[in-house]
């Protein structure tokens, strides 16, 4: 429809939240105001449905507390007192401070901090060119996803899996460490269709989640023991001759070495390690190996352990051992990004060819240590944050807050709301919402690439990530042309690729069709005939690459905490802590909204009746959850949703809106997983006691 006054226009776009579903939507606009946002019923994956959060997205866009103008701090850091200033004043203030810091300490005293606040391709990578040009400390943005990908790659060469839509062809579905109904809503109808055709749905999760309650079978290993469960399954499969000899001969290496390793994991030992009865492990192994097609669905929960990569590496051996990759709907699936992101021209988009890889790098999971370490030379003197909220999402929260409160730290935050991180900023710069910016969104839950057209002009003086760094480049006096490319040019660069998956996908065509499916065949079986992108060209049950790095070349189980290396902490803090995602929050987004906080309900610590009884606790008691890093006070909920020895609390609550000014990440460790760089947040132990 045309844009004449009073007439309704419908603009098509896509959600950019850090979620596998990447919902396709339609925005109805009248006189420059978005009056309605609904799911697009024409899309074959999201099918017109939106989640509980995005159903109310326009409330987020037009929220009265939204930051719409540049702000400059007037009070102590963390107090949240600011005054409105012009963009010229803000950018001049920021650039002058940056120049002073660089003159005194060098450019590596500056660090970016960005993540998937927007998963749109050009907004997600918008800061890379600027900080490469600046010569800033490099940020390892691996807090989530990279360890899972690295673990899978050790076995199969990459994280590529089957098309999630092909789950309808599966007849034995294992949802391993994923709460699909809550965090991957649009996949559940495909699982239901498979079930209607006779599929069995198994959930492997220590917690009795909504997905576990809806499954046919729930298996509850102790956190961090999933590799032992997989090895116990493989022992049964091999010892009973249920493996696919032909597939292994043709397309795998290291089977004989693996067979020897499996002797260490008979069902009774796997049961001791996992807490899953040996009979249940044997039944699972037999049904998985003999039901075709069989599929393992993974997301990212498992990777947040010290042994996260090894768990993914070990689980990836199962579909190789059984030849599950042969069948449509068989094999494994985790993230479509493993295929989509390499297909994009990210090198051209980010200009990584200009990056000086000799410059130091810091893992984003350890930003608290970086900001507070007296040994770091030069120290971090400036941090520019976009698309992230490290005060809430980064582990070891109290250390992060200590760093953010440094008066000598220039902190600049580009945001829609006054988050806990923004409350500590020297300057808060207003950011656009998804319906105010142009982008393409590469989903990690399906193989469609949608275009998001801006539906309304930016509210107030908000700007996109890409526009922010164009403005900062100008204020810094940079003259390099690549720093000033338009959003259209950036999208065209990202799509300029020889990769066959994106052949024929152009901005012009996306503007006509709104979304395009990647060029995959209808019946896509990536490893049906081998073709694994490993050094050997085969699935590597024994990995010489891991051996060369000093790692175990075979699948293995390692304990979460070595008996003699923790200084007695295991006895002091005997309960394992899991911090899961919430239905009404999206990581740290939406936690500021009274609607979503009310829908989510008061945060509570879930504790098993046996552990509650030992501590004389009952439901609704106020409890103190604590360890060497911090403490959190909240109500407790006594239920069998958790296992004995395991407690759970929700992730994503802002500390500033919590009872005692702390949230889950006050307790979590900033240690890293075995390889891949992900934070080992679930290797956190606590004690619980009644609070006064």
Q: Are residues 334 and 350 in the same domain?
A: no
Q: What is the pLDDT of residue 564?
A: 39
Q: Are strands 410-415 and 427-430 parallel, antiparallel or unpaired?
A: parallel
Q: What is the pLDDT of residue 565?
A: 45
Number of domains in the chain: 3
Q: What is the pLDDT of residue 6?
A: 84
Q: Are residues 403 and 464 in the same domain?
A: yes
Q: What is the pLDDT of residue 562?
A: 44
Q: Are residues 612 and 470 in the same domain?
A: no
The answer to whether position 494 is within a domain reads yes
CATH number of the domain enclosing 465: 3.40.50.740
How long, in residues, is the chain? 692
Q: Are residues 579 and 621 in the same domain?
A: yes
Dist CA 267 CA 278 (whole Å)? 5
Q: Are residues 173 and 244 in the same domain?
A: yes
Q: Are residues 190 and 218 in the same domain?
A: yes
First-to-final CA distance of the chain: 62
Dist CA 429 CA 91 (whole Å)? 9
Dist CA 8 CA 683 (whole Å)? 52
Q: What is the pLDDT of residue 661?
A: 84
Dist CA 248 CA 317 (whole Å)? 11
Dist CA 641 CA 98 (whole Å)? 50
Q: How confident is the model at residue 4 (pLDDT cuts 50, 70, 90)?
A: low
- For the four alpha carbons of 354, 355, 358 and 359, in that order, the dihedral sign comes to positive
Beta bridge partners of 331: 295
The answer to whether position 62 is within a domain reads no
- Asked if pLDDT for residue 1 goes beyond 80, the answer is no
CATH number of the domain enclosing 644: 2.40.40.20
- Within its chain, how far is the Cα of 518 from the centroid? 22
Dist CA 76 CA 89 (whole Å)? 20
- Asked if pLDDT for residue 3 goes beyond 70, the answer is no
- Within its chain, how far is the Cα of 144 from the centroid? 4
**Distance (Å) of CA 229 to CA 281, 315, 318:** 7, 9, 11
Backbone angles phi, psi at 189, to 5 degrees: -60, -35
Q: What percent of the chain has pLDDT over 70?
A: 98
- Within its chain, how far is the Cα of 525 from the centroid? 26
Domain that holds residue 384: 71-143+345-441+448-517
Q: Which of 157, 224, 214 is nearest to 191 (CA)?
A: 214
Q: Are residues 90 and 211 in the same domain?
A: no
The answer to whether position 507 is within a domain reads yes
Q: What is the pLDDT of residue 2?
A: 46
Q: Are residues 218 and 255 in the same domain?
A: yes
Q: Are strands 217-219 and 631-638 parallel, antiparallel or unpaired?
A: unpaired
The answer to whether position 660 is within a domain reads yes
Q: Which of 266, 269, 333 is nearest to 295 (CA)?
A: 333
Sequence-ordered alpha helix ranges (H) in 223-295: 226-239, 245-251, 255-262, 267-274, 278-290
Dist CA 296 CA 441 (whole Å)? 25
CATH number of the domain enclosing 225: 3.40.228.10
Q: What percent of the chain has pLDDT over 90?
A: 90
Q: Are residues 247 and 132 in the same domain?
A: no
- Asked if pLDDT for residue 660 goes beyond 90, the answer is no
Q: What is the pLDDT of residue 653?
A: 84
Could you write out the DSSP letters of every residue in 534-594? STTSSEESS-HHHHHTTS-SS-----SS-TTSSTTHHHHS-EEEEEEPPSS-BTTBTTT-H
Tens digits of per-residue pLDDT, 491-550?
Answer: 999 999 999 999 999 999 999 999 999 999 999 999 999 999 999 999 999 999 999 999
Neighbours of 275 (CB within 10 A): 18
Angle at 600 between CA 599 and CA 602, to 5 degrees: 115
Q: Are residues 105 and 208 in the same domain?
A: no
List of residues 6+ apart from 458 with CB closer than 8 A: 432, 436, 437, 464
Coil, helix or strand for 33?
strand
- Tell me 54's DSSP state: G
Coil, helix or strand for 95?
helix
The answer to whether position 322 is within a domain reads yes
Coil, helix or strand for 43?
coil
Q: What is the pLDDT of residue 276?
A: 98
Dist CA 315 CA 643 (whole Å)? 22
The answer to whether position 211 is within a domain reads yes
Q: How confident is the model at residue 197 (pLDDT cuts 50, 70, 90)?
A: very high
Q: What is the pLDDT of residue 591?
A: 82
* Cβ atoms of residues 318 and 95 within 8 Å: no
Dist CA 199 CA 172 (whole Å)? 5
- Asked if pLDDT for residue 191 goes beyond 90, the answer is yes
Average pLDDT of the chain?
95
Tens digits of per-residue pLDDT, 129-187?
Answer: 999 999 999 999 998 899 999 999 999 999 999 999 999 999 999 999 999 999 999 99
The answer to whether position 148 is within a domain reads no
Q: What is the pLDDT of residue 115?
A: 93
Coil, helix or strand for 211?
helix
Assign residue 157 a region (left: φ > 0; alpha: ψ between -120 and 50; beta: otherwise).
Answer: left
Q: Which of 280, 311, 287, 279 is nearest to 237 (CA)?
A: 287
Sequence-ordered alpha helix ranges (H) in 365-422: 367-372, 390-393, 397-404
- For the four alpha carbons of 450, 453, 455 and 460, in that order, the dihedral sign comes to positive
Q: What is the pLDDT of residue 434?
A: 98
Q: Are residues 493 and 623 in the same domain?
A: no
The answer to whether position 370 is within a domain reads yes
Q: Which of 266, 157, 261, 245 is nearest to 553 (CA)?
A: 261
- For the four alpha carbons of 337, 338, 341 and 347, in that order, the dihedral sign comes to positive
Could you write out the DSSP letters of every residue in 323-357? TGGGSTT-EEE--THHHHHHHS-HHHHHTGGG--T
Dist CA 619 CA 606 (whole Å)? 9
Tens digits of per-residue pLDDT, 17-68?
Answer: 999 999 999 999 999 999 999 999 999 999 999 998 999 999 999 999 999 9
Q: Are residues 366 and 505 in the same domain?
A: yes
Q: Which of 34-38, 450-454, 624-628, 654-658 has the lowest mean pLDDT?
A: 654-658
**Bond before 516 cis per omega within 30 degrees:** no
Neighbours of 423 (CB within 10 A): 21
633, two tokens = 């006070």
Q: How confident is the model at residue 569 (pLDDT cuts 50, 70, 90)?
A: low
């Amino acid at each position: 429809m045309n844009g004449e006054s009073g007439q309704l226009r419908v603009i098509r776009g896509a959600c950019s939240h850090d979620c596998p579903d990447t919902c396709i939507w339609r925005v109805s606009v009248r006189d420059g105001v978005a009056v309605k946002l609904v799911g697009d019923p024409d899309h074959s994956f999201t099918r017109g449905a939106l989640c509980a959060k995005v159903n109310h997205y326009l409330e987020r866009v037009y929220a009265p507390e939204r930051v719409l103008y540049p702000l400059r701090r007037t009070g102590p850091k963390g107090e949240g007192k600011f005054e409105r200033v012009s963009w010229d004043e803000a950018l001049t203030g920021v650039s002058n401070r940056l120049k002073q810091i660089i003159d005194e300490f060098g450019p590596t005293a500056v660090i970016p901090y960005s993540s998937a606040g927007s998963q749109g391709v050009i907004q997600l990578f918008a800061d890379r060119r600027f900080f490469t040009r600046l010569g800033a400390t490099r940020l390892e943005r691996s807090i989530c996803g990279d360890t899972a990908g690295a673990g899978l790659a050790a076995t199969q060469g990459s994280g590529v899996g089957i098309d999630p839509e092909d789950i309808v062809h599966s007849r034995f579905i294992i949802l391993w460490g994923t709460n699909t109904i809550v965090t991957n809503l649009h996949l559940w109808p495909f699982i239901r269709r498979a079930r209607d055709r006779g599929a069995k749905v198994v959930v492997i999760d220590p917690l009795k989640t909504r997905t576990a309650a809806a499954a046919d079978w729930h298996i509850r290993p102790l956190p961090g023991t999933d590799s032992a469960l997989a090895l116990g399954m493989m022992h049964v499969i091999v010892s009973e001759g249920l493996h696919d000899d032909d597939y292994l001969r043709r397309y795998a290496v290291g089977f004989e070495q693996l067979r020897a390793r499996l002797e260490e994991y008979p069902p009774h030992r796997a049961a001791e390690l996992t807490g899953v009865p040996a009979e249940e492990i044997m039944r699972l192994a037999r049904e998985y190996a003999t039901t075709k097609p069989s599929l393992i669905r993974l997301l990212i929960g498992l990777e947040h352990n010290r042994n996260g990569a090894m768990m993914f590496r070990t689980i990836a051996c199962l579909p190789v051992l059984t030849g599950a990759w042969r069948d449509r709907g068989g094999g494994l699936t985790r993230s479509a990004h493993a295929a989509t992101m390499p297909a994009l021209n990210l090198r051209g988009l980010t200009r990584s060819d200009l990056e000086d890889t000799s410059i130091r790098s810091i893992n984003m999971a350890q930003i608290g240590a970086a900001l507070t370490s007296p040994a770091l030379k030069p120290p971090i003197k400036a941090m520019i944050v976009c698309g992230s909220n490290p005060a809430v999402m980064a582990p070891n929260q109290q250390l992060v807050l200590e760093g953010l409160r440094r008066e000598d730290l220039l902190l600049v935050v580009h945001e829609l709301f006054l988050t806990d991180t923004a409350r500590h900023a020297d300057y808060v710069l207003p950011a656009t919402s998804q319906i105010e910016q142009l982008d393409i969104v590469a989903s990690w839950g399906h193989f469609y690439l949608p275009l998001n057209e801006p539906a309304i002009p930016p509210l107030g003086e908000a700007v996109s990530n890409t526009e922010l760094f164009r403005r900062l480049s100008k204020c810094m006096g940079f003259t390099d042309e690549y720093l000033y490319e338009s959003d259209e040019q950036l999208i065209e660069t990202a799509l300029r690729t020889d990769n066959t998956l994106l052949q024929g996908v152009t901005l012009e065509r996306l503007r006509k069709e709104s979304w395009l499916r990647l060029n995959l065949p209808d019946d896509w079986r990536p490893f049906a005939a081998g073709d694994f992108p490993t050094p050997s060209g085969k699935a590597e049950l024994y990995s010489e690459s891991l051996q060369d790095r000093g790692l175990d070349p075979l699948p293995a189980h390692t304990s979460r905490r070595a008996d003699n290396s923790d200084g007695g902490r295991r006895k002091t803090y005997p309960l394992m802590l899991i911090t899961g995602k919430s239905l009404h929050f999206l990581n740290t987004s939406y936690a500021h909204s009274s609607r979503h906080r009310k829908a989510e309900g008061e945060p509570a610590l879930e504790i098993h009746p046996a552990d509650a009884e030992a501590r004389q606790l009952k439901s609704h008691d106020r409890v103190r959850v604590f360890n060497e890093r911090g403490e959190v006070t909240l109500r407790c909920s006594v239920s069998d949703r958790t296992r004995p020895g395991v407690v759970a609390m929700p992730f994503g609550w802002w500390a500033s809106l919590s009872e005692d000014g702390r949230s889950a990440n006050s307790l979590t460790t900033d240690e890293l997983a075995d390889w891949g760089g992900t934070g080992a947040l679930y290797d956190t132990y606590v004690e619980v006691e009644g609070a006064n």
